[in-house]
Structure 1
Amino acid sequence: MWSSIQSATSASISLVIGFFLALLLLSSGRRWTKWLMLALLLPGFFPPLMIVLTGMQVTDWLGLSSLGLGVVVFCHALMNVGLVAVGVYQLVVMRLKGMIELATVESAPYKMIVGSIILRRLWRELAILFFLVFSMCFTSFSIPLILGGDQTMSFEVLVYQKVRVYNDWNQALFYVFFEMFFVSCFIWLLPKQDDESVVTELLQFGRWPMPMVFAFCLAPLLLVLFSELAGVLPALTQLHLLSELGGHFWVLSFQSLYLGFAASFVSVLLCWCMGYLSPWGKLRKVFQGLSAPSAVVVGFGLMLLFGDQPYLQLVSLVLGLSILFFPYLYRWQLDPALQRLQSQVEMAKVMGAGRSQIFWDILRPQLVSPVGFIAGVMGFWVIGEFALVQLMTGKELTLAVLAQGLLERYRLDLGSIVILWTITLGFVNWLFIGGVVRVFSHRS
């Protein structure tokens, strides 16, 4: 019950605010559109800990409870409004650009363009976006785990309770298969797009004041950054707080980097395997429809498979994190990159080139950039992940889990410092692994 209410509320707020932000994007100058889109997407790109910290800071400023439905909805909306805004903007550019430009030339009223063209012709896509955000909130795990309180705020938390509390694997697996089917259906329903058209084509209409455009489009990102600084700055003025972290802090830093680097390495191997397979046609649709499985079942399943041995525990953790994040990265970066090279692959096949030659001479050199990006993002996300790490290990193995414990104890000042250092390590790993991929690719 609470899961459905939370998901529907989060999706509704995200869609309404995201649509409004998309209209602001459409009225922004061509010079600023891409930068504003990046700013809108960043809150959803950051580790969930930063969003949790923002929710706790905002509720603290307002004197409200930091647990329950309201703060979970706020955090989910904060993460998803940018995704909805950019999605609506791209749909308008791809499908309605000519009609809107013609209506603008003929001096059609702004309200008529929005109501009779955008809303009327994109209502199906908007409905799909609503249900996609609904499914993302419905299956969210990290944020409801910390901020949900006594209520079961998401489907993943429900599965977690069935396994951890009631040891009811039969019902948990039923829920998991339902969840995977539910999410996969909406992924398949998403409208496919030509990535190059989205990047190169821009549209400008509307007369919203630019200060208003900047204020609203930058508000989610600035709120997240300000919440982080609001916790870090007071802690830096009280240096004795840092001594509470002790030497254990540096051990956790090393372990976080190890997990990030290992997951990045696994993602590189997966990318090269996918590049070698070069999925086209029906096989590509299968890979596009794959969704990340339940984090809870992945965690418990790998625990049962590998046992409690410390060295195997780290292996299972890297494998589990890779399973969770790689499907998103494949659909985001690798699949579009492979599609852009499809014509070259077909030409090489006509000329008699084999699969290995196509991979080594055509695909591999041109996939270095997206593979390096995927590996960097994988490491960044893994270093900032806490829910699956805590689930599988039950102890403070990484900085993210340490930050989670601090936030749960309302140590927002110290938690902010740990989160900032965690993000710094994520970027360090990103730069390092990206350089390693480029060096080895050029040498080979």
Structure 2
Amino acid sequence: MSPRNLIRSALLLYLVFPFLFLIFQFNITVWPEWRELVWAFKNSFLQAFFSAFFSLALGIWVALGLICFTEGFRRHYRMVLEVLCLLPNFLPPLFTLLSILNFVDPFPMGIIGIVIAHTVINFGLVGVMLANIIENKIGSLAELAYIEGASRWQFLRQAFWPVLKQDLFLLFLFVFAVCFGSFAIPLIVGGGKGTTMEVLIYEKIRLSSNWSEAVVLAVLQSAFIFAVSFFARRGGTTSSERIANLKILRMFSGIGVLLLIMAFCFVGYAQGVVDGFRQISAFYELQSPLIWNFLGSLAIGTSVGLLSFGSLLVIAYCWPKPWFEKFLAGYVAPSTALCCFAFLIMGTNESFWPFIKIPLAFNLLCLASLYRMGWDGVLRGLESQITIARTLGAQAPQIFKEVLLPQISQRAALFAGVAAVWACGDYSVSRILAHRDLSLAMMTETLMSSYRLGMATILSLSLVVCGVICFFIMMGVGRVLSRKSF
């Protein structure tokens, strides 16, 4: 077996490790109770369906606002608005939860609370994606309809919906799949009546040590998400080089909706900061663990960033290979709870071991997201150069070192920096694999669980500092490697 095939096989085994380890570790002797399974599946389905529905509805509205800024200097405003749209998706869920929990009091726990949190996180991403689809697919058609004097309603009914209904359905499925497998949000705001499949897996293992039922639940959940993801990946958009006149679709109220929701989030977060400063005296008892947990967050974030950076470069080294590409495109990360518990029972969890297991588990869980977030597009854009180099007789190591590495190092560092920021704000993976609070995110989640939202909000400010440090560390690594590759 060639070194590249050996590396491909090792990466594939790493990605499916939780399933293989638990299947061989535990015999499937007991199936979950039917009523309990249906109840958890119903909760997961309902919260994912309504999260996707409201995210899509608000996303359409915001997209029609974003296309108001398409020409000339207006593009600068468009970039700022898109950053606002993507901010809830870029930041860890902890910040969104703190914003809405501070603003909405009392907050509705259960399915309604999960839907609110997921909608706030995902509607902006849907808006940005849909605005690009509108410009690329129906820009010329909208311009022609405007010239011909068609009304907005006529265009929406006779052109917008018929042409884009498949894309809208795919966006719906995309958000649905993401929300169905969510763990961090339901863990905090799900409550007793909002137990989802992911939370039930966590409870089966943590509370009753029922591994057999947990493995079955995880396999069923992953199979369902894989089926949804398979349909969500089908289809595509055509590209358009010319900026079209989209006046027939422009709705400035969409910008108002975006700014209103973001204002609510900022006001909620600011309210939490003010409340936290009123309780600042309570932080004296947290001084010592605060310093150590800041260093713990820094270590976890940097480790995840380096692992993600290395994993992305490994994927690039093994590229291209049809079956390898298909596997990565169809790969569905295992249940967060199941993946973490697989690492939990493998060896000891004392001393420094959580600082090894947490980055490995988090990297495994986020690698598929990083790949679909644009890493596959980066590699496909270089396929022609790879083909030319192979035609001229270059071998795989030489192609990777002299063709790929100089061009992809900084992009890989950018993706790894995003993963490091996510890891700094993660509490779900750490909550399972750590026997005590080892990071700022875990401390923040502990304060949130005890309804000390003000203190939690103040503490989350230090998470921003930690995330920025980790992000720039990764960008520095990418810049140094890129320079040395030339």
Q: SS state of the match for residue 352, structure 2? A: helix
Range 218-227 or range 143-152, more displaced: 218-227
Change (3 A) 1:289 1:202: farther
Return the TM-score normalized by structure 1: 0.92
Change (3 A) 1:388 1:204: same
Change (3 A) 1:225 1:199: farther
Q: Name the counterpart of 2:79.
A: 34
Change (3 A) 1:425 1:353: same
C-alpha distance in structure 2 between counterparts of 1:65 and 1:425, whole Å: 29
C-alpha distance in structure 1 between counterparts of 2:107 and 2:307, whole Å: 41
Q: Give yes or no for contact 1:128–1:186 (8 Å, CA) kept in 2.
A: no
Equivalent in 185, 202, 219 of residue 143 of structure 1? 185
1:217 aligns with 2:262: no
Change (3 A) 1:305 1:343: same
- What is the total number of aligned residue pairs between the two structures? 439
Range 219-228 or range 271-280, more displaced: 219-228
- CA distances 1:126-177 after superposition (whole Å, capped 9, x unpaired): 2222232222222111111111111244221121122222322222222222
Q: SS state of the match for residue 414, structure 2? A: helix
Q: Give yes or no for contact 1:162–1:168 (8 Å, CA) kept in 2.
A: yes
1:361 aligns with 2:406: no
Amino acid at match of 1:351: L
Equivalent in 89, 95, 104 of residue 44 of structure 1? 89
**Deviation, structure 1 residue 332:** 1.1
Q: Name the counterpart of 1:170.
A: 212
C-alpha distance in structure 2 between counterparts of 1:104 and 1:281, whole Å: 44
C-alpha distance in structure 1 between counterparts of 2:237 and 2:65, whole Å: 23
Q: Name the counterpart of 1:16.
A: 57
Amino acid at match of 2:328: F
Q: Give yes or no for contact 2:417–2:474 (8 Å, CA) kept in 1.
A: yes
1:158 aligns with 2:200: yes
C-alpha distance in structure 2 between counterparts of 1:260 and 1:26, whole Å: 36
Structure 2 stretches lacking a partner, 5+ long: 1-41
**Deviation, structure 1 residue 191:** 4.4
Q: Give yes or no for contact 2:173–2:229 (8 Å, CA) kept in 1.
A: no
1:188 aligns with 2:233: no
C-alpha distance in structure 2 between counterparts of 1:191 and 1:176, whole Å: 25
C-alpha distance in structure 1 between counterparts of 2:237 and 2:406, whole Å: 22
C-alpha distance in structure 2 between counterparts of 1:349 and 1:258, whole Å: 40
Change (3 A) 1:29 1:96: closer
**Deviation, structure 1 residue 193:** 4.9
**Deviation, structure 1 residue 399:** 0.4
Return the TM-score normalized by structure 2: 0.85
**Deviation, structure 1 residue 382:** 0.5
1:203-352 mapped onto 2 (5 Å cutoff)? 204-206=246-248, 208=250, 210=252, 212-352=253-393
Q: SS state of the match for residue 393, structure 2? A: coil
1:73 aligns with 2:118: no
**Deviation, structure 1 residue 402:** 0.4
Amino acid at match of 1:94: N
Amino acid at match of 2:162: R
Q: Name the counterpart of 2:48.
A: 7
C-alpha distance in structure 2 between counterparts of 1:155 and 1:198, whole Å: 42
Residue identity (%)? 27
Amino acid at match of 1:159: I
Q: Give yes or no for contact 1:55–1:66 (8 Å, CA) kept in 2.
A: no
Range 306-315 or range 346-355, more displaced: 306-315
- CA distances 1:178-233 after superposition (whole Å, capped 9, x unpaired): 222222333333246579x58996763337564x3432223333332322211113
Amino acid at match of 1:77: T
**Deviation, structure 1 residue 235:** 2.6
Q: Give yes or no for contact 1:144–1:154 (8 Å, CA) kept in 2.
A: yes
Change (3 A) 1:47 1:202: farther
Equivalent in 423, 427, 450 of residue 382 of structure 1? 423
Q: Give yes or no for contact 1:50–1:224 (8 Å, CA) kept in 2.
A: no
Q: Give yes or no for contact 2:427–2:442 (8 Å, CA) kept in 1.
A: yes
Equivalent in 406, 420, 426 of residue 461 of structure 2? 420
Structure 1 stretches lacking a partner, 5+ long: none
Q: Name the counterpart of 1:57.
A: 102
C-alpha distance in structure 1 between counterparts of 2:108 and 2:448, whole Å: 11
C-alpha distance in structure 2 between counterparts of 1:90 and 1:218, whole Å: 20
Amino acid at match of 1:110: R
Q: SS state of the match for residue 140, structure 1? A: coil
